[in-house]
Amino acid sequence: MYLNVYVNNGNTPTTFVATVRGDTLTFNVRHSNFRVGDVLTRFELLVNNTTPLFDLGEGVSLFVDGLEQRVIKNSPYTLQFKDTKTHKVQVAYKGNKDIGSAYSNIRNIKASVRADEHEGDVPEEEIDGEYEITIVAPKTIKYMETPNWIFRLTKGKKPIPNRNLEVSTFDQTDTKRTNAKGEVYVNKPMTTLYRESVIDNWGVGVYDIGAILWRYNDNLEKDGIMTSNFQEIEVVKNTPTMTVDKQENSLIVTLTNPLGKPMKNYKINYTLNKQTKSKDTNNDGKIAIPLTNKGTFSYEIESANTKNFNSTKLTGVVTIS
């Protein structure tokens, strides 16, 4: 996520990277990034080089069968139906004085009854067969990538809802209750309310993830493992994002990790005007490459190759007048 700041009605922005703390994004726009007398005339929020309509604060309108139901200001949004009929669903952005309107195609959606609302389901104790836990998860995950893992509990191949599974993922264990499909999920972003970044402890390497269904006796004490399943997951290197922005007397290089956080104290090697040097990024994940000689020069900038990150390289040409 980036914030572009335009100065004096110009067309070339100064770009800032967000600092993430919990659910709050902070953009530090400092005096040192500008000159005395500069007027900040426009701000532009970018997510992966686009501006989602949700982030404009105006929201999009949800229409069901041609009738506006609500204005949605967060994404994703879950739509629930009260019947099993087919409905026409569409979302639309009404626009403003700067941005035109937009709308999606109309989709025909037929709701189905939730599995846990079925009447006459066979009680769990009457289902023939053994309990089984299956894991739906890729064998590899990139460092700092958000996982998307499913742990599914069945008995006699039928899903078992409302049972507690003890789910172990790398360095933590949580108790999760299965849903109507007999499933529990691990798919939260790595920044959590409990720790600044869980994935920071999951460096490159091979780990076990899995789930256990325990049997309890009359005193609610564990009475041996009823069933379990574990799978090896390999965490592989990820690649940071590096950007370069030319200011009056320097090239500003910014390095961010896959969570969008600045990578501080990180080594950057650069070659400019046939001279190769190294610098460590500051707390904002930035280095400044001074532009002292006039002329047109090619440059090559490369971040360090470390245990958890691949190197990333940028090349280009800069003119100093």
Sequence-ordered strand ranges (E) for 156-310: 158-159, 164-169, 172-177, 183-186, 205-216, 222-236, 241-246, 250-256, 267-272, 275-280, 286-290, 295-303
Determine the structural domain holding residue 298 and report its residue range.
241-320
Q: Which of 186, 219, 236 is the last residue of a domain?
A: 236
Per DSSP, 41 falls in state E
User: How many structural domains are present in the chain?
Assistant: 3
pLDDT at position 121, please? Answer: 61
Q: Please check whether residues 262 and 304 belong to one and the same domain.
A: yes
Q: Please check whether residues 159 and 207 belong to one and the same domain.
A: yes
Q: Does 96 map to a domain?
A: yes
According to DSSP, the β-strands at 222-236 and 205-216 are antiparallel
Q: Does 257 map to a domain?
A: yes
Q: Please check whether residues 92 and 157 belong to one and the same domain.
A: no
pLDDT at position 114, please? Answer: 53
Q: Does 115 map to a domain?
A: no
Q: Please check whether residues 176 and 156 belong to one and the same domain.
A: yes
State phi, psi for 126 to the nearest 5 degrees: -95, 0
Q: Does 222 map to a domain?
A: yes
Instruction: Find out whether 204 and 308 touch, Cβ atoms under 8 Å.
Output: yes
CATH number for the domain harbouring residue 305: 2.60.40.10
Q: Please check whether residues 270 and 315 belong to one and the same domain.
A: yes
How many CA atoms does the CB half-sphere of 260 hold within 13 Å? 22
**Cβ-count burial 140-157 (b if 16+ within 10 Å, e if not):** ebbbbbebebebbbbbee
Q: Please check whether residues 129 and 198 belong to one and the same domain.
A: yes
Sequence-ordered strand ranges (E) for 205-266: 205-216, 222-236, 241-246, 250-256
Q: Please check whether residues 66 and 40 belong to one and the same domain.
A: yes
Q: Which of 236, 259, 275 is the last residue of a domain?
A: 236
Instruction: Find out whether 60 and 53 touch, Cβ atoms under 8 Å.
Output: yes
pLDDT in tens, the chain (321 residues): 778 888 887 778 888 888 777 667 788 888 878 888 788 888 877 765 555 555 555 678 888 888 888 887 665 567 777 777 888 888 888 777 666 777 788 888 877 655 444 444 677 878 888 899 999 999 998 988 888 899 999 999 999 998 889 998 877 788 888 998 999 988 765 444 334 444 556 788 999 999 999 876 555 555 666 889 999 999 999 999 999 998 878 899 999 988 788 999 999 999 988 889 999 999 999 999 998 888 888 999 999 999 999 999 999 998 887
Q: Please check whether residues 127 and 181 belong to one and the same domain.
A: yes
**Burial, 242: exposed, middle or buried (Cβ in 10 Å; 0-12, 13-18, 19+)?**
buried
pLDDT at position 221, please? Answer: 58
Instruction: Find out whether 136 and 128 touch, Cβ atoms under 8 Å.
Output: no
Q: Does 116 map to a domain?
A: no
Q: Does 302 map to a domain?
A: yes
Q: Please check whether residues 130 and 231 belong to one and the same domain.
A: yes
How many CA atoms does the CB half-sphere of 65 hold within 13 Å? 5
Tokens 């574990």 belong to 230
Q: Does 298 map to a domain?
A: yes
Q: Please check whether residues 229 and 257 belong to one and the same domain.
A: no
User: CA angle 233-234-238, nearest 5°?
Assistant: 130
Q: Please check whether residues 24 and 76 belong to one and the same domain.
A: yes
Q: Does 144 map to a domain?
A: yes
Q: Which of 194, 212, 236 is the last residue of a domain?
A: 236
Q: Please check whether residues 230 and 248 belong to one and the same domain.
A: no
Instruction: Find out whether 28 and 19 touch, Cβ atoms under 8 Å.
Output: yes
**Burial, 229: exposed, middle or buried (Cβ in 10 Å; 0-12, 13-18, 19+)?**
middle
